[in-house]
């Protein structure tokens, strides 16, 4: 039996000032799954995601990616496997043109220029942003920036894609395109958000994080029908007319 894509065991994290962010998170995600991590602000979603890519290292507990224990020694390997899309795309886009920015990851993987450019073209094509290749990132709309940020991560060909609040700042059309894109991607997808509508339409499984602990795990439809759970975790149920989407492709 193959190792799970993500295996988090008793993960604890406290910030430098002593504020606890994660208080013993256990989590297992299989390859190809699309999983949402929902929770109010300060629930620990971003902190948990940063542990999956090694941006934060466990104070106590452990994180395994594709069976590899995340340590300083395995950081490069883990970052090759886990692509992280930041909440604010402006933090991620820093090169002078879109194509240079998308090439940043592949170049760091040590790929030859030709292969890196092929990856750039394929990633931009995948997110529908091929026409933006020569544009300066600061001239893009919010939705375009998000798409390019995702392309920058896809170009590294990760097996796991981690997205932090991907629908923030998107207009309805941009949000729709994001949901469609999430549905098309073959990678294991982990989406941290408090946009429960997005979860309902793009993830067959959701985890509710509250005060640094996973307090519920199940299908979005079941979790979001639990009014007491949502109230306790300071979440709002999605619009009642919203139906679960066809769901992303599960591999």
Partner 1 sequence: MSRLAAALQDLRALDALALRDTALARRDPRAKLAVTLCFIVTVLSFGRYQVAALLPLALFPTVLSAQAQVPGRVLRRTLWLASPFALMVGLANPWFDRTPMLALGGLELSAGWVSFGSIVLRVTLTVSATVVLLGSTGMHALCVGLSHLGVPRVFTAQLLFLQRYLHVLAEEALRMSTAHRLRAAPGRRLALSVYASLMGQLLLRAFDRADRVHQAMLARGFDGELRVADRWRWTGADTRFVGLWCGYFALVRAVDLPLALGRLITGAGA
> Whole-number minimum distance, CB 3 to partner 1, in Å?
22
In sequence order, the β-bridge partners of residue 25 are 11
Q: Which two tokens stand for residue 224?
A: 């979001």
Q: Which of 132, 156, 179, 208 binds partner 1 (CB under 8 A)?
A: 156
Q: Which of 51, 79, 119, 145 binds partner 1 (CB under 8 A)?
A: 79
**Interaction residues for partner 1, span 129-148 (CB under 8 A):** 134-136, 138-139
Is 73 among the residues that bind partner 1 (CB under 8 A)? no
Q: Which two tokens stand for residue 58?
A: 């466990």
- Interaction between residue 174 and partner 1 (CB under 8 A): no
15 is an interface residue for partner 1 by CB under 8 A: no
Whether the Cβ atoms of residue 193 and residue 209 lie closer than 8 Å to each other: no
The two three-digit tokens of residue 217, written as one number: 């795990």
Q: Which two tokens stand for residue 54?
A: 């090694």
Q: What is the dihedral of CA 36, 40, 45, 47, to 10 degrees?
A: 170
Binding range to partner 1, per CB under 8 A, among 6-14, 75-83, 177-185, 223-231? 75-83
Task: Please say which residue, 9 or 135, places its beta carbon nearer to partner 1.
Answer: 135
Within 28-67, the residues that bind partner 1 by CB under 8 A are 50, 53, 55
Per-residue DSSP letter, 72: G
Q: Of 116 and 235, which has the nearer Cβ to partner 1?
A: 116
Cα–Cα distance for residue pair 105/157, rounded to 1 Å: 10
For tokens 């256990």, name the residue: 26
Inter-residue contact 22 to 44 (CB < 8 Å):
yes
| Choices 82-90, 140-148, 196-204, 238-246 (CB under 8 A): range interacting with partner 1 | 82-90
68 binds partner 1 (CB under 8 A): no
Structural element, H or E, at residue 162: strand 160-164
H or E segment and range at residue 16: none
Which segment (33-41, 81-89, 140-148, 208-216) binds partner 1 by CB under 8 A? Answer: 81-89
Phi, psi at 138, each rounded to 5°: -70, -10
Query: Is there binding between residue 91 and partner 1 (CB under 8 A)?
Result: yes
The stretch near partner 1 (CB under 8 A) out of 1-9, 89-97, 175-183, 234-242 is: 89-97
CA–CA separation, 135 and 230 (whole Å): 42
Binding-site ranges for partner 1 (CB under 8 A): 50, 53, 55, 76, 79-80, 83-84, 86, 88, 91-92, 94-97, 99-100, 103-105, 107-109, 113, 116-117, 134-136, 138-139, 152-153, 156
């Amino acid at each position: 039996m193959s190792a799970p894509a993500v295996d988090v065991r008793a993960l604890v994290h406290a910030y430098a000032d002593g504020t606890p962010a994660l208080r013993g998170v256990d989590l297992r995600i299989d390859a190809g799954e699309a999983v949402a991590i929902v929770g109010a602000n300060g629930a620990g979603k971003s902190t948990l995601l940063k542990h999956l890519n090694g941006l934060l290292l466990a104070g106590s507990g452990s994180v395994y990616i594709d069976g590899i224990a995340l340590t300083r020694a395995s950081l490069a390997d883990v970052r090759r496997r886990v692509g992280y899309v930041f909440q604010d795309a402006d933090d991620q886009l820093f090169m002078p043109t879109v194509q240079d920015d998308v090439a940043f990851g592949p170049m760091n993987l040590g790929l030859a220029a030709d292969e890196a450019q092929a990856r750039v073209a394929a990633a931009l094509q995948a997110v529908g942003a091929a026409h933006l290749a020569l544009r300066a990132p600061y001239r893009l709309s919010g939705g375009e920036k998000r798409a390019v940020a995702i392309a920058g991560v896809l170009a590294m060909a990760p097996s796991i894609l981690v997205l932090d609040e991907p629908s923030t700042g998107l207009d309805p059309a941009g949000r729709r395109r994001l949901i469609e894109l999430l549905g098309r991607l073959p990678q294991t997808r982990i989406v941290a958000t408090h946009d429960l509508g997005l979860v309902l339409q793009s993830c067959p499984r959701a985890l509710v994080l509250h005060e640094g602990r996973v307090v519920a795990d199940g299908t979005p439809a079941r979790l979001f029908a639990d009014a007491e759970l949502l109230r306790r975790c300071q979440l709002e149920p999605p619009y009642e007319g919203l139906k679960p989407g066809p769901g992303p492709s599960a591999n």
